[in-house]
Amino acid sequence: MRKAEVTRRTNETDIAVKVNIDGGGVSEIDTGIGFFDHMLTALAKHSGIDITVKAAGDLNVDAHHTVEDTGIVLGQAFAKVLSDTKITRFGSSFIPMDEALGFCSLDISNRPYLVFDADFNSERCGDFDNFLAEEFFRSFAFNAGITLHLKKMYGKNDHHVIEALFKSLAYSLKAAVKSSDTLLSTKGVL
């Protein structure tokens, strides 16, 4: 089983993450940010990856540190689990969510990069500042070693747009982490 546990403690956050790439999409998420918990639960469910996140952050300031640091720790767990494995490597997915359509394409290549192309019609979804979606995806991609492209194709309801992006990431990861018989790189290393 491809599993990892990572913890990170700073003056702003205390975060513990467990991932099981070969799980069944079971999640136990508690960040103190309801909408973010909902998105991480969807990420686990639709990727088929078991994810546990326990995060305590300085929410009295705002949600930024908690969201960003959760992305860092989750990314580190993915990097740890996938560092020496032969995987399919690439994944992409279009996911509809009512009137919204989200797209993700990724390469688990140890060459982190983020292209994020999404604008929002409102500032928040519940207690989650919508701009934090990009912060999470950046932290996750750079710490997991993933080249990650996310695009809002269209959509008016920001809840639907952000959820479509998380689910498109989930289905892209599901494809990319499948085992491969060979290392898919002309360089011989990722």
- The mean per-residue pLDDT over the stretch 15-36 comes to 98
Statement: residue 188 has pLDDT above 90: no
Residue 187: predicted pLDDT: 63
pLDDT in tens, 89-120: 999 999 999 999 999 999 999 999 999 999 99
- Residue ranges in 34-157 assigned as alpha helix (H): 34-47, 64-82, 132-144
Q: Exposed (0-12), middle (13-18) or buried (19+): which is 81, by Cβ within 10 Å?
A: buried
Residue pair 37/91 in contact by the 8 Å Cβ criterion? no
Statement: residue 27 has pLDDT above 90: yes
Statement: residue 183 has pLDDT above 70: no
pTM, to two decimals? 0.95
- Confidence category of residue 151, pLDDT binned at 50, 70, 90: very high
- The mean per-residue pLDDT over the stretch 30-55 comes to 98
Residue 84: predicted pLDDT: 65
Percent of the chain with pLDDT over 70: 95
Q: Name the CA dihedral angle for 54, 60, 62, 64, rounded to a multiple of 10 degrees.
A: -40
- The mean per-residue pLDDT over the stretch 129-144 comes to 98
Residue 85: predicted pLDDT: 72
If you search the block for the tokens 């996938």, which residue do you land on? 82
pLDDT in tens, 58-89: 999 999 999 999 999 999 999 999 876 788 89
Q: b/e per residue, 24-38, with b = 16+ CB within 10 A?
A: ebebebebebebbbb
Statement: residue 182 has pLDDT above 80: no
Q: 116 versus 180: which is more confidently predicted?
A: 116
- Mapped onto helix, strand or coil, the DSSP state of residue 126 is coil
Alpha-carbon span 183 to 5, nearest angstrom: 25
Q: Which residues pair with 4 in a beta bridge?
A: 19
- How does the average pLDDT of the chain come out, rounded? 94
Topology (CATH) of 3-176: Ribosomal Protein S5; domain 2 (3.30.230)
- Confidence category of residue 186, pLDDT binned at 50, 70, 90: low
